Chain A
């Protein structure tokens, strides 16, 4: 009888060890998925909570990169190799389709980032600030 059982009784201890096993299983089967989602949410939080426009765009970029990681995780095959054909006919490859999609997404992402930053620069020219709060104040003062 170990310390946990003494404190909680054997049924509860059994339940706890079951929960632990479940939790470990949960973490192990999709560790990449959960971590990518956590990163995504940090990026999302930066985009929502920060009022600096450049910081918002960086947050969007974080969100986007985390999404790439999630996609590539889905395409990964255990013991699979880089999807470049080898002479070995039995070679196992990771799924090349997500790679293609994400290549396109990275390039489109940099295009949207450039456009967003250009908008921020233009806003700075017009309002003299890139803080969302101050822009809203200036707008309220105008009308």
Chain B
């Protein structure tokens, strides 16, 4: 059911040209997917998606829109010129579905993904870390270095944005 809403929102994003509406729809898409993530027991991910995807991303896109243009220009590409994009997307999707055909059924507790590494964390976290939230325990302790790497990525992106938008060097903006 939620997926139907998500697909409707995505098609709306594809169809509309008014960028403000598109950005709002993208925020809605994020909130809907946060609901869906919550229904799949991923509370932490849902929180993050709602805060980052629906909050920060929307603000970033609105500011980018304010600095550029509010309206997507009607494309002069004909339907025929869009056909390759549609074909590539369709073929890629079919390939992905073909690749997923062998996947264990949704929610199978004996799927390889569930039986290999995860049980260790579920069984040992209470003894080794003593944090009730397993996601926090893995993120901050077992996989602490990954999280450090993530911070490095954000820092690099921050530097990149600052350099691109010229926080350090005064540029001639009049031209």
Interface, chain A (partner B; CB < 8 A): 29-35, 37-46, 48-52, 54-55, 57-59, 61-62, 65, 68-69, 72-78, 80-86, 92-100, 102-104, 106-108, 110-115, 117-122, 124-125, 129-131, 133-134
Q: How far is the CB of A81 from chain B (nearest CB, A)?
A: 6
In the complex, which residues 133-163 of chain B have their Cβ closer than 8 Å to any Cβ of chain A?
133-135, 138-139, 143, 146-147, 150, 153-154, 156-158, 160-161
* Contact status A82-B41, CB under 8 Å: yes
Q: What A residues does B121 contact at CB under 8 A?
A: 96-97
A contact patch SS: helix
Binary interface encoding of chain B residues 100-124 relative to chain A, with 1 for a CB under 8 A from any of its CBs, else 0: 1001011111010110011001100
Q: What B residues does A110 contact at CB under 8 A?
A: 52-53, 56-57, 60
* Contact status B42-A99, CB under 8 Å: yes
Given contact pairs A49-B85, A69-B37, A122-B165, A102 touches B75 in the complex (Cβ within 8 A): no
* Contact status B134-A102, CB under 8 Å: no
A30 to B103, CA, bound (A): 8
Q: What B residues does A39 contact at CB under 8 A?
A: 3, 6-7, 10
Q: How far is the CB of A111 from chain B (nearest CB, A)?
A: 4
Considering the complex of A and B, which 8 residue pairs feature the smallest CB-CB distances, nearest first? A78-B107, A111-B157, A48-B85, A94-B41, A49-B85, A41-B93, A117-B64, A29-B105
